[in-house]
Amino acid sequence: MSILVTGSTGTIGAQVLAHLQTRSSDVRALTRSPETAQLPVGVTAVRGDLADPDSVRAALQGVSTLFVLAPNVADELTQAMLTLTVAREAGVKGIVYLSVFGGDAYADVPHFAGKYTVERMIEALDLPATVLRPAYFIQNDLRQKDGLLKAGVYASPIGAKGVSMVDIRDIGEAAAIELTRREQAPTPLGRETYALVGPDSLTGEGIATIWSEALGGDIRYGGDDLVVMEQRTKTMLPAWHALDLRLMFGRYQTEGAVATDNDIARLTKLLGRAPRSYAAFARDAAAQWAKG
């Protein structure tokens, strides 16, 4: 039997595969293009697409544990629910589903509300699953490089309420730990839910200060203008996606997304260490940028 990882060639999927390398001998990666997929040594590429349930059925042959990461597309909810349906019919004994931190509260943010609906399906059908709820990814801020270095501005409009951003390496490791635990169990295990978060409540001004220290210069926060953010985002992403992200940042500004002490303690126990901090990420990024 084996573990199948969906979203395998994306940012998080790559982290999951990297952390599974030392934990499991039979790992498969679902990809639309197996012939060109860049995968770790020992990982088997399997053709499939979550938008095509028949391809998922074929890919699940011989699979006992499944990592479900639905793509951030307009029909994400449908793809995720049908994938879980096919997995259930195939008799998969363990599932790890990548949800989002705050999905239950952000009812007007499409990709949050969709992921929470998938969580409701998992609960209603009593699927043998671990739900992972990652906060905003720290590494998303690598996109701030030009603004930080050329204009001295941190431009992500996260506001002043606080966001417990998580390092993507911690997401990959947490997923690998739970996939392996479920794969090695002789029978299906009960449901678990983990918030995947960082140790700090980060604000726009606070992150600007972190970057000032990491870069050795004066970095200022660019402010909370969501209209400007949406317009800028539409130059890189579809309009629906830009509005979805604007709504998310709007919620960050009005409510925040701050982890509880219990959230951090449970993740620390799962990882066997404290989650990585934003300051450590910023120092590492600054060092890499300095090398050119």
Name which of 164, 88, 92, 157 is nearest 133 in CA terms. Answer: 164
Distance CA 59, CA 39 (A): 17
Name which of 45, 84, 52 is nearest 68 in CA terms. Answer: 84
C-alpha distances out from residue 145 to 46, 125, 136, 154, 213, Å: 35, 44, 17, 9, 15
Q: Please name the helix (run of DSSP H) or strand (run of DSSP E) that holds residue 134, with its range, or none.
A: strand 129-134
Taking residue 130's Cβ as centre, other Cβ atoms within 10 Å add up to 25
Give the strands of the sheet with 2-5, arranged side by side. 43-47, 27-31, 2-5, 63-68, 94-98, 129-134, 192-196
pTM: 0.97
> For each of the chain's 292 residues, which pLDDT tens digit applies?
799 999 998 999 999 999 998 887 799 999 999 999 999 999 999 999 999 999 999 999 999 999 999 999 999 999 999 999 999 999 999 999 999 999 999 999 999 999 999 999 999 999 999 999 999 999 999 999 999 999 999 999 999 999 999 999 999 999 999 999 999 999 999 999 999 999 999 999 999 999 999 999 999 999 999 999 999 999 999 999 999 999 999 999 999 999 999 999 999 999 999 999 999 999 999 999 998 7
